[in-house]
């Protein structure tokens, strides 16, 4: 790559990192707002406490989460079909716990802004919602007998990771590895994200039907995101390498 090419890549990355990401920030705000006012946060006195709160949480997840058996069973063929068909969209904004919410929002914050800027706001919005819907639907199709509620933005965020991998394979990501005493280490996206996807694959293969974590939805979302970026952007539009003198090209929480 010539020096002019390096300078062009550097300018592109600086523009991407410095640009606002209103859709990403709005999605984070919506997820946080929905969680805080819902029963899962435990902050609202409306839902009571103890067993009453637990009952409210279960009813809340059944109403707004994906229940695979309802999508494939009688509910889908009766008056409940519209509601059941909408749950893969509503479930994207519902989270089961503070850890669930904060983990997902951290990933969206780190990887969403650059991906949004490269795709454009409208396309990124449709991409996020569409891939998230299909990821949860894919999990439901593979687990048609499960009546466990599935909630969370993991499928959509996994799609963002897949698109980020294609668009910014050389961007460096700060990772915390438990077997290295959680030391923050930087690795390129082409190494971190496929490793993450491999862990999801292994976990999905070991999970029983209706697991608490829908690893299969993560894999479906990741694959859809990578495929979407590949089809839409083409090989010539990738940011292949960030020059060493441009630290803005490194992505970190």
Domains and CATH numbers, the chain: 3-249 (1.20.1540.10)
164-186 pLDDT, tens digit each: 988 988 776 655 444 333 334 45
Stronger pLDDT, 200 or 78, i.e. the higher one:
200
Mean pLDDT (the chain) is 76
31-51 pLDDT, tens digit each: 999 999 999 998 988 888 888
* Predicted confidence (pLDDT) at residue 72 exceeds the cutoff of 50: yes
Distance CA 2, CA 43 (A): 56
77-135 pLDDT, tens digit each: 444 577 888 999 999 999 999 989 998 998 899 889 999 999 999 999 999 999 999 99
- Alpha helices (H) in 120-213, listed in sequence order: 121-142, 154-167, 189-206
Distance CA 53, CA 58 (A): 9
Stronger pLDDT, 11 or 97, i.e. the higher one:
97
Share of the chain above pLDDT 70, in %: 64
E strand or H helix at 188: strand 183-188
CA distances from 107 to 24, 25, 77, 113 (A): 11, 12, 36, 11
Catalogue the active-site residues: 154, 218
- Taken in order 47, 49, 52, 57, the sign of the CA dihedral is positive
Distance CA 14, CA 246 (A): 8
- The phi, psi pair for 120, rounded to 5°, reads 100, 155
CB 162 within 8 A of CB 221: yes
């Amino acid at each position: 790559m010539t020096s002019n090419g390096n300078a062009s890549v550097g300018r592109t990355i600086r523009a991407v990192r410095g640009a606002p990401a209103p859709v990403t920030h709005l999605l984070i705000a919506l997820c946080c707002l929905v969680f805080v006012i819902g029963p899962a946060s435990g902050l609202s006195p409306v839902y009571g406490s103890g067993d009453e709160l637990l009952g409210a949480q279960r009813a809340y997840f059944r109403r707004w989460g994906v229940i695979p058996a309802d999508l494939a069973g009688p509910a889908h063929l009766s008056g409940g079909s519209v509601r059941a068909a909408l749950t893969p969209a509503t479930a994207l904004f519902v989270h089961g716990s503070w850890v669930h919410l904060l983990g997902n929002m951290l990933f969206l914050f780190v990887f969403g802004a650059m991906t949004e800027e490269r795709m454009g706001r409208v396309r990124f919005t449709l991409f996020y919602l569409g891939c998230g819907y299909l990821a949860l639907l894919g999990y439901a199709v593979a687990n048609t007998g499960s009546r466990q509620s599935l909630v969370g933005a993991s499928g959509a965020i996994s799609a963002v990771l897949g698109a980020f991998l294609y668009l910014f394979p050389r961007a460096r990501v700060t990772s915390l590895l438990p077997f290295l005493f959680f030391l923050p280490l930087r690795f390129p996206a082409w190494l971190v994200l496929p490793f993450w996807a491999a862990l999801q694959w292994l976990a999905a293969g070991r999970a029983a039907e209706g697991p608490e974590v829908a690893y299969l939805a993560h894999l479906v979302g990741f694959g859809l995101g990578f495929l979407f970026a590949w089809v839409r952007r083409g090989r010539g539009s990738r940011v292949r390498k960030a020059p060493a003198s441009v630290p803005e090209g490194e992505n970190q929480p």
